[in-house]
Amino acid sequence: MPDTAHNPTDDVDLGLARTADRLAATHHPHPDDARRCADPSCHLAWPCVSSRFAERARDAATAAWPTAWTTRHDLAAAGIAVSP
């Protein structure tokens, strides 16, 4: 009889999860001024657009496929490459 145990990693879009981690690693509050982004190429007001995309990608990575699919397209439209 085949193993039918549910594996939680089966429901994770790893590309979106990696993209969320990559964005969150660089787009976080600046240590000297929590009102702006620490990324040298960004420096927008915190939370910046990329940090919001990171949160959205993290949520979509475990959401139903239509949400993940839409988020992937939104990231691409914003010029953010989704990790393979």
pLDDT at 1 over 50: no
| 82 within domain boundaries | no
| 84 within domain boundaries | no
Structural domain count of the chain: 1
Residue 69 structural domain: 12-77
| pTM value > 0.75 | yes
Residue 28's Cβ-count burial label (10 Å; 0-12, 13-18, 19+) is: middle
Q: Place 10 in a pLDDT band, splitting at 50, 70 and 90.
A: low
For every residue of the chain, DSSP letters joined together read ----PPPGGGG--HHHHHHHHHHHHHSSB-SS-TTBB--TTT-PBSSPHHHHHHHHHHHHTTS-HHHHHHHHHHHHHTTPPPP-
| 83 within domain boundaries | no
Q: Place 11 in a pLDDT band, splitting at 50, 70 and 90.
A: confident
Mean pLDDT of the chain: 88
